[in-house]
């Protein structure tokens, strides 16, 4: 029924709309024709004459009927055209009024339909809730029955356990009585044995007083050896990458603090992406630098090269400050005390200090690495010897722009 009424109302609305447009067109044609008639020598303009002819042909049947059946001539004035246009206006108003009523009926029909659908949905939800409630009640009843069964089983087990405990107590009491008798029998022998042991102890103490004092130095040396062995067992080989932003303070001068904070945050993301790709173990942040621990020298080298190699695109596409980000880095490796629970900030070793010194003396856009750390792998990673010596270690250098070229 809803769809039939909706179709009927919509059809009537479209029909009345088309009829209204037609009335407006006829009214417009009438006034255009009336205006054209006022133009001097209008007969010389063929297109205008055609428009007037269309208007006259359109009104001709009704004009003829009015002239025949109505008194519309008043002292030579023909009122038929104006009566015609008045009727058209009245008809247009009536059509528009009907269209408004039609719209109201369609809105009422739509709201009633929506209300009906809402009620159906509410009924459906109510039924589903009722079904869910019944299911939940059945589940709870089933769980209650299971709990009751378990309670009975536990009661039986507790009764059996209590009986077993009573039997065990009785057996223990019997054993205790037997043990007490045995202890009394053994006590005399034990006292005699204790007296013999006491005599032996006195003899040993007398010998100790006569013997020279134990060599404390040997005991301390043994303790030191054991401690060193324990510490060595906790050591593992690690590589350390130290990085720092060159002239970070100067970069921030004259910049909006919000923009500077945003750029350094994006730089941190850039660094973290490279570190995660190369499996870093631990990381400590200084204000604008990092000390990172890796499982191997290769991972430390690749991570440092990835950070420096990506700076060109970072400065071009991401950075908003005037000055570009420039990085210097240093790498060193060796055996250090390592514990998963100890933060990077709390680790301390000369190996780590040398990595920091390598970074400190490295030029911008380059990586310094100790010859001991890189070994014979320098050429494979495009490192070349440098005349610099840091903490007694020869240095090899990798330059970002040289590698890009």
* Number of domains making up the chain: 2
CB 388 within 8 A of CB 367: no
| pLDDT computed for residue 232 by the predictor | 59
Q: Is residue 213 part of a domain?
A: no
What value does the mean pLDDT take over residues 251-259?
A: 92
Domain boundary pick from 156, 176, 196: 176
pLDDT digits (tens, 9 = 90+) for 322-345: 999 999 999 999 999 888 888 999
| pLDDT computed for residue 77 by the predictor | 72
Residues 396 and 322 in one domain: yes
CATH assignment at residue 383: 3.30.70.1230
Q: What is the DSSP letter of 43?
A: G
Q: Give the lowest-confidence range in 166-175, 246-255, 265-274.
A: 166-175
| pLDDT computed for residue 159 by the predictor | 81
Residues 91 and 1 in one domain: yes
| pLDDT computed for residue 292 by the predictor | 96
| pLDDT computed for residue 43 by the predictor | 73
Q: For residues 314 and 307, what is the distance between their CA atoms, to the nearest angstrom? A: 10
Strand, coil or helix: what is 383? coil
Question: Could you list the residue range(s) of the whole structural domain that residue 263 is in?
Answer: 234-404
209 — pLDDT class (breaks 50, 70, 90): low
Higher pLDDT: 6 or 90? It is 90
Six-digit token string for 370:
């100790």
Q: Is residue 312 part of a domain?
A: yes
Residues 242 and 171 in one domain: no
Domain boundary pick from 176, 192, 219: 176
Q: Is residue 73 part of a domain?
A: yes
Q: Is residue 303 part of a domain?
A: yes
Residues 308 and 172 in one domain: no
Residues 153 and 16 in one domain: yes
Residues 167 and 242 in one domain: no
What value does the mean pLDDT take over residues 285-291?
A: 88
Residues 250 and 364 in one domain: yes
Domain boundary pick from 176, 198, 218: 176
Higher pLDDT: 60 or 399? It is 399
281 — pLDDT class (breaks 50, 70, 90): very high
| Cβ neighbours, 10 Å, residue 244 | 22
Q: For residues 129 and 119, what is the distance between their CA atoms, to the nearest angstrom? A: 15
Is the pLDDT confidence value at 214 over 60? no
CB-facing half-sphere around the CA of 372: CA atoms within 13 A: 16
% of residues, the chain, pLDDT over 90: 40
Q: For residues 31 and 24, what is the distance between their CA atoms, to the nearest angstrom? A: 11
Q: For residues 357 and 352, what is the distance between their CA atoms, to the nearest angstrom? A: 9
Q: For residues 332 and 335, what is the distance between their CA atoms, to the nearest angstrom? A: 11
pLDDT digits (tens, 9 = 90+) for 143-187: 888 988 888 888 888 887 778 777 777 776 777 677 667 767 666
Dihedral sign for Cα atoms in the order 137, 138, 143, 148:
positive
pLDDT digits (tens, 9 = 90+) for 11-21: 888 888 888 88
Residues 156 and 258 in one domain: no
Q: What average pLDDT does the chain have?
A: 83
| pLDDT computed for residue 363 by the predictor | 95
| pLDDT computed for residue 390 by the predictor | 94
Residues 158 and 246 in one domain: no
pTM reported for the whole predicted model: 0.46
Q: For residues 17 and 156, what is the distance between their CA atoms, to the nearest angstrom? A: 88
| pLDDT computed for residue 57 by the predictor | 78
Q: Is residue 215 part of a domain?
A: no
pLDDT digits (tens, 9 = 90+) for 21-79: 887 887 787 777 777 767 777 677 778 778 778 877 777 777 777 777 777 766 667 67
Strand, coil or helix: what is 336? strand
Q: Is residue 209 part of a domain?
A: no
| pLDDT computed for residue 386 by the predictor | 93
Q: Give the lowest-confidence range in 120-134, 188-202, 331-345, 388-402.
A: 188-202
Residues 258 and 131 in one domain: no
89 — pLDDT class (breaks 50, 70, 90): confident
Q: For residues 108 and 100, what is the distance between their CA atoms, to the nearest angstrom? A: 12
Residues 165 and 24 in one domain: yes
pLDDT digits (tens, 9 = 90+) for 351-397: 999 999 999 999 999 999 999 999 999 999 999 999 999 999 999 99
Q: For residues 142 and 59, what is the distance between their CA atoms, to the nearest angstrom? A: 88
Q: Is residue 161 part of a domain?
A: yes
Crossing angle of helices 46-69/80-210, nearest 10°?
Answer: 110
Q: Is residue 291 part of a domain?
A: yes
DSSP-derived secondary structure for 188-247: HHHHHHHHHHHHHHHHHHHHHHHSPPP-HHHHHHHHHHHHHHHHHHTEEEEEEEEEEETT
Residues 262 and 356 in one domain: yes
What value does the mean pLDDT take over residues 190-194?
A: 64
Is the pLDDT confidence value at 230 over 70? no
């Amino acid at each position: 029924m809803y769809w039939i009424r909706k179709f009927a109302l919509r059809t009537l609305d479209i029909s009345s709309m088309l009829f209204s447009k037609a009335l407006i067109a006829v009214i417009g044609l009438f006034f255009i024709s009336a205006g054209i008639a006022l133009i001097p020598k209008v007969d010389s303009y063929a297109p205008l004459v055609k428009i007037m002819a269309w208007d006259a042909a359109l009104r001709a049947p009704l004009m003829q009927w009015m002239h025949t059946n109505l008194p519309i001539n008043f002292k030579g004035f023909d009122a038929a055209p104006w009566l015609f246009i008045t009727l058209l206006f009245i008809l247009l108003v009536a059509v528009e009024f009907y269209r408004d009523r039609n719209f109201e009926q369609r809105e009422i029909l739509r709201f009633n339909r929506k209300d009906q659908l809402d009620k159906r949905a509410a009924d459906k939800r109510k039924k589903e809730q009722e079904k869910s409630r019944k299911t939940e009640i059945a589940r709870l009843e089933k769980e209650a029955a299971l709990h009751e069964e378990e309670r009975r089983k536990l009661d039986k087990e507790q009764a059996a356990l209590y009986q077993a405990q009573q039997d065990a107590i009785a057996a223990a009491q019997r054993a205790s009585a037997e043990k007490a008798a045995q202890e009394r029998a053994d006590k005399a022998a034990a006292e005699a044995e204790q007296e013999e042991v006491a005599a032996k102890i006195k003899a040993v103490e007398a010998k100790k007083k006569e013997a020279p004092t134990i060599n404390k130095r040997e005991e301390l040396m043994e303790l030191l050896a054991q401690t060193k062995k324990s510490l060595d067992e906790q050591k593992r080989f690690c590589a350390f990458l130290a990085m720092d932003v060159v002239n970070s303070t100067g970069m921030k001068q004259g910049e909006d603090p919000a923009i500077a904070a945003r750029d350094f945050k994006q730089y941190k993301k850039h660094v973290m992406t490279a570190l995660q790709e190369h499996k870093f173990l631990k990381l400590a942040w200084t204000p604008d630098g990092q000390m990172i621990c890796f499982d191997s020298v290769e991972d430390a080298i690749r991570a440092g090269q990835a950070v420096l190699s990506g700076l060109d695109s970072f400065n071009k596409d991401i950075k908003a400050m005037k000055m570009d980000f420039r990085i210097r880095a240093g790498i060193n490796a060796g055996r250090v005390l390592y514990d998963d629970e100890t933060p990077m900030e709390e680790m301390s070793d000369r190996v780590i200090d040398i990595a920091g010194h390598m970074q400190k003396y490295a030029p911008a856009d380059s990586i310094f690495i100790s010859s001991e750390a890189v070994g014979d792998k320098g050429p494979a990673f495009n490192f070349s010897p440098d005349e610099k010596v840091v903490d007694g270690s020869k240095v090899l250098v990798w330059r970002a722009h040289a590698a890009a070229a």
